[in-house]
């Protein structure tokens, strides 16, 4: 074997010089190419290795969130109102799909569409992020976190799940897994959608907000978030903490090893003060009352009552806890589970369906009508009037050139507050309001004039939210001098234009109103003052606010902050109660409160609601009540019935349904009968729906 050097002498036949030189050049060229390769290899493996090793870790390591089981929501007896059920869900992991070559991703999705029986276009649209080019509108596009696997099908059959899991090569980033979905067992057929609320996926905007607040957005990225009711208020408690699993994955996102894992902490169980059985009863009674009203003839408008919506609240007057609360119309919270369709969403927001998402109990703001009179009474009796005050309950009361009529123009002669409350005499309270108004300076422009009735209304918590543990509560409105001025400033231009150029077909009332409003609509007139005293006009409140007012009458003046949540129970079983929270006492002497309380007993005995409570065992269940029939321009009257015992307050409101006792009387009576176990005129505590 010869080891002669490259250009060594060849004893046989010398290779010609030129080819030999050319070969040398080729050799040098190839050597430099190999040196280049080695140089680059050195650079990647020695200089840049740290950075590339990190890239490799990012490639293979993935943090998988193990969702925490959301806590259930139970009623005061521990009956499940909102629970979880297990469902087979198919998810698509964008993190994997977007990394694949486009053709491969397309193939995988079209295979999945095939298996699921969806169209490819439909499926692809669901895996697009909202706002990304080519994405469709929410809720079809994915409005959740881009890092979260996107659920594309729920409640799939076991067969479909097996097909997908067995052919994982064909379904990169696509996983069939069991997931816990919200379930609504609806004990006794109750609904309470407005109290419980619903969930929908966290949005990118919310994740950004979490990140900005300094918290770790990663732990939230697979979350469903409470959007209404206690699901929203107690979202953090119910949500728990997801576990984090560090897994290694391959190029198709298949996990092939777990590096470390922290276990998820389930959410707490929320115990509400709702009683499912009573809730079901209240819902049923409200619905029946509305249906009955819709069949009832309205003498004023000469057509049947519209009875478009209503609400009812049952409150424990000793704590402010809500025992039952309902709003009509309602919706099925189950439609949100696993993604809502556009059609379902439209229905929830539609006017024609009566905007069922709106909770009339906490968000419906209506004039209280005569149910306001106890506050007027309290205001008057702490400002110069007394039990001995006697005024004429005439058939009308003239203010300026306008006659303010008594209800159905009845005339009852001279009476005191107690009779005026029981009979709901308007003219009695007109006189008081008119006198007080004169004392304040009449229609003078003094916006800051002290108005004892307005002050009293504020002290009873009107004009601001009660602070109940439900989101988006409304506070109602006190139409005082200040409000009137603000309203005038805001509406002046509109009404002045209307006064100058009336629209064709405008009623003469509206024409006159526009003219007068344009001139001095800011003035707090005597008419405003007398209307305020009987709860008519522009003052509004929510059924929940009224329930707190009557609870205060029941408990001797304490204004509670209403609550739905009673306690929460940690996964370890530790129970933490939410103590009742007082908002203070109303500034009314006990004697006055007792006087009003006594007067309200007569409402069901001899007063406006007596005809609905004949045979009711008032001696055993001493019921107090006040009816209200509030007028609304262009609409039928709102029916109010507020009632209470020493323990509970029941308030019902039905919009466009007639008088307080007429539309709501029977329903409220049935609710009371349910609470106390009343059959005929016997009381059997064991027959109570609240009985243990």
Partner 1 sequence: MTTMVSARVRADRRSALWQVDWMLVIGVVALAAIGAVLVWSATFQRPALTGGDEHAYLVKHAMNFGLGLVLAVAAALVDHRWVRILTPFAYLAAVAGLVLVLVPGVGEVVNGSRSWIRLPGLSVQPSEFAKLTVIVAMALLIAERLEVNRHDDARTVDIVQALAIAAAPVTLVVLQPDLGTVMVMGALVAGVIAVSGVSKRWLLGLVAAAVLAAAVALELHVLKDYQLARFAAFADPSQDPRGIGYNVNQARIAIGNGGVFGQGLFHGSQTQNSFVPEQHTDFVFTVAGEELGLLGAGGIILLFAIVLWRACRIAVKARDTFGRLVATGIVCWFGFQAFENIGMTLGIMPVTGLPLPFVSYGGSSMFACLLAVGLLQNIHLRATRTRHVR
Q: Which residues bind partner 1 (CB under 8 A)?
A: 1-2, 4, 6-7, 10-13, 15-16, 18-20, 22-23, 25-27, 30-31, 33-34, 36-38, 40-42, 44-46, 48-49, 51-53, 55-57, 59-60, 98-102, 105, 169, 248-252, 256
Of the pair 104, 614, the CB lying nearest partner 1 is at 104
Of the pair 33, 519, the CB lying nearest partner 1 is at 33
102-116 helix and 158-166 helix, angle to the nearest 10 degrees: 160
Query: What whole-number distance in Å separates Cα of residue 378 and Cα of residue 597?
Result: 11
User: Exposure string (b/e) for 481-518, b if CB count within 10 Å is 16 or more?
Assistant: bebbbebbeeeeeebbebbeeeeeeeeeebeebbbebb
User: 81: which 2 tokens?
Assistant: 């109102």
Q: Within 10 A of 350 (CB to CB), how many other CB atoms are there?
A: 12
Alpha-carbon dihedral 401, 404, 405, 407, rounded to 10 degrees: 170
At CB < 8 A and 24+ separation, what contacts does 578-584 make? 578/469, 580/319, 580/320, 580/321, 581/320, 581/467, 582/320, 582/558, 583/461, 583/466, 583/467, 583/559, 584/558, 584/559
Q: How far is the CB of 311 from partner 1 (least distance, A)?
A: 55
Q: How far is the CB of 246 from partner 1 (least distance, A)?
A: 13
Of the pair 45, 262, the CB lying nearest partner 1 is at 45
Q: How far is the CB of 127 from partner 1 (least distance, A)?
A: 15
Q: Within 10 A of 318 (CB to CB), how many other CB atoms are there?
A: 15
Cα separation values, 338 from 90, 236, 341, Å? 11, 20, 10
Q: How far is the CB of 2 from partner 1 (least distance, A)?
A: 7
Q: How far is the CB of 262 from partner 1 (least distance, A)?
A: 23
Of the pair 49, 114, the CB lying nearest partner 1 is at 49
Cα separation values, 584 from 141, 537, 552, 580, 660, Å? 49, 28, 10, 12, 29
Preceding omega of 139 cis (within 30 degrees of 0): yes
Of the pair 29, 66, the CB lying nearest partner 1 is at 29
Of the pair 44, 519, the CB lying nearest partner 1 is at 44
Kindly tell me the sign of the dihedral angle through the C-alpha atoms of 408, 290, 280, 195.
Answer: negative
Q: How far is the CB of 118 from partner 1 (least distance, A)?
A: 24
Of the pair 40, 679, the CB lying nearest partner 1 is at 40
Q: How far is the CB of 172 from partner 1 (least distance, A)?
A: 11
Q: How far is the CB of 149 from partner 1 (least distance, A)?
A: 19
Of the pair 94, 194, the CB lying nearest partner 1 is at 94
Of the pair 49, 682, the CB lying nearest partner 1 is at 49
Query: What whole-number distance in Å separates Cα of residue 396 and Cα of residue 352?
Result: 39
Preceding omega of 664 cis (within 30 degrees of 0): no
Query: What whole-number distance in Å separates Cα of residue 311 and Cα of residue 326?
Result: 6
Taking alpha carbons only, the member of 315, 372, 254 closest to residue 580 is: 315
Q: How far is the CB of 40 from partner 1 (least distance, A)?
A: 4
Beta bridge partners of 639: 629, 654
User: 435: which 2 tokens?
Assistant: 């006198």
Of the pair 253, 660, the CB lying nearest partner 1 is at 253
Q: How far is the CB of 128 from partner 1 (least distance, A)?
A: 15
Query: What whole-number distance in Å separates Cα of residue 155 and Cα of residue 442?
Result: 68
Q: How far is the CB of 19 from partner 1 (least distance, A)?
A: 5
Of the pair 2, 212, the CB lying nearest partner 1 is at 2
Q: Which helix (H) or strand (E) holds 159?
A: helix 158-166
Query: What whole-number distance in Å separates Cα of residue 226 and Cα of residue 198?
Result: 6
């Amino acid at each position: 074997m010869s080891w002669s050097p490259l250009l060594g002498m060849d004893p046989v036949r010398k290779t010609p010089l030129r080819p030999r030189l050319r070969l040398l050049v080729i050799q040098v060229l190839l050597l430099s190419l190999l040196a280049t390769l080695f140089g680059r290899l050195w650079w990647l493996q020695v200089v840049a290795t740290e950075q590339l090793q990190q890239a490799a870790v990012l490639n293979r390591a993935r943090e998988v969130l193990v969702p925490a089981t959301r806590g259930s929501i139970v009623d005061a007896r521990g009956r499940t109102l909102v629970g979880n059920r297990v469902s087979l869900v198919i998810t698509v992991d964008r993190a994997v799909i977007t990394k694949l070559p486009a053709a491969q991703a397309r193939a995988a999705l079209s295979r999945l569409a095939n298996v699921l029986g969806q169209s490819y276009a439909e499926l692809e649209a669901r895996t697009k992020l909202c706002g990304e080019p080519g994405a469709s509108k929410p809720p079809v596009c994915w409005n959740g976190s881009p890092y979260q696997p996107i659920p594309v099908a729920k409640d799939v059959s076991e067969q479909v799940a097996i097909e997908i899991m067995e052919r994982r090569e064909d379904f990169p980033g696509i996983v069939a897994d069991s997931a816990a979905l919200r379930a609504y067992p609806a004990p006794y057929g109750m609904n309470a959608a407005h109290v419980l609320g619903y969930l929908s996926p966290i949005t990118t905007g919310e994740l950004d907000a979490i990140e900005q607040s300094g918290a770790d957005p990663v732990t939230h990225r697979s979350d469903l978030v409470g959007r209404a009711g206690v699901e929203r208020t107690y979202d953090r408690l119910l949500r728990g903490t997801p576990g984090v699993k560090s897994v290694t994955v391959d190029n198709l996102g298949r996990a092939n090893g777990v590096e470390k894992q922290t276990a998820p902490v389930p959410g707490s169980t929320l115990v509400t003060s709702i009683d499912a059985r009573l809730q079901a009863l209240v819902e049923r009674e409200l619905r029946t009352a509305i249906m009955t009203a819709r069949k009832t003839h309205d003498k004023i408008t000469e057509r049947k009552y519209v009875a478009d919506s209503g609400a009812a609240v049952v409150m424990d007057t000793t704590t402010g806890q809500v025992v039952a609360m309902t709003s009509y119309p309602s919706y099925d919270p189950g439609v949100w589970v696993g993604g809502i369709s556009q059609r379902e969403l439209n229905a929830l927001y539609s006017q024609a369906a009566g905007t069922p998402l709106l909770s009339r109990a906490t968000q419906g703001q209506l004039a209280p009508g005569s149910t306001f009179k106890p506050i007027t009474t309290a205001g008057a009796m702490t400002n110069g009037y007394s039990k001995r005050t006697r005024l004429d309950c005439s058939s009308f009361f003239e203010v300026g050139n306008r006659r303010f009529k008594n209800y159905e123009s009845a005339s009852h002669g001279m009476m005191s507050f107690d009779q005026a409350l029981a009979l709901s005499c308007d003219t009695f309270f007109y006189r008081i309001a008119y006198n007080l108004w004169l004392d304040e300076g009449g229609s003078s422009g003094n916006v800051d004039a002290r108005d004892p009735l307005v002050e009293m209304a504020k002290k009873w918590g009107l004009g601001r939210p009660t602070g109940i543990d439900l989101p988006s509560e409304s506070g109602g409105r006190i139409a005082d001098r200040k409000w009137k001025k603000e309203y005038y400033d805001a509406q002046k231009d509109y009404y002045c234009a209307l006064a100058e150029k009336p629209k064709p077909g405008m009623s003469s009332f509206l024409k006159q109103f526009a003219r007068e409003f344009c001139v001095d609509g800011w003035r707090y007139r005597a008419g405003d003052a007398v209307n305020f005293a009987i709860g008519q006009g522009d003052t509004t409140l929510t059924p929940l606010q009224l329930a707190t007012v009557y609870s205060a009458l029941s408990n001797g003046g304490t204004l509670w902050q209403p609550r739905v949540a009673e306690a929460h129970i940690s996964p370890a079983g530790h129970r933490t109660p939410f103590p009742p929270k007082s908002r203070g006492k109303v500034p009314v002497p006990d004697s006055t409160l007792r006087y009003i309380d006594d007067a309200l007993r007569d409402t069901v005995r001899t007063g406006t609601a007596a005809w609905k409570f004949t045979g009711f065992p008032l001696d055993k269940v001493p019921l107090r009540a006040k009816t209200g029939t509030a007028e609304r321009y262009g609409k039928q009257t709102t029916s109010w019935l507020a009632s209470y015992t020493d323990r509970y307050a029941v308030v019902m409101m039905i919009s466009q349904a007639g008088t307080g006792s007429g539309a709501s009387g029977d329903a409220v009576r049935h609710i009371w009968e349910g609470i106390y176990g009343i059959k005929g005129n016997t009381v059997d505590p064991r027959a109570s729906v609240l009985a243990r």
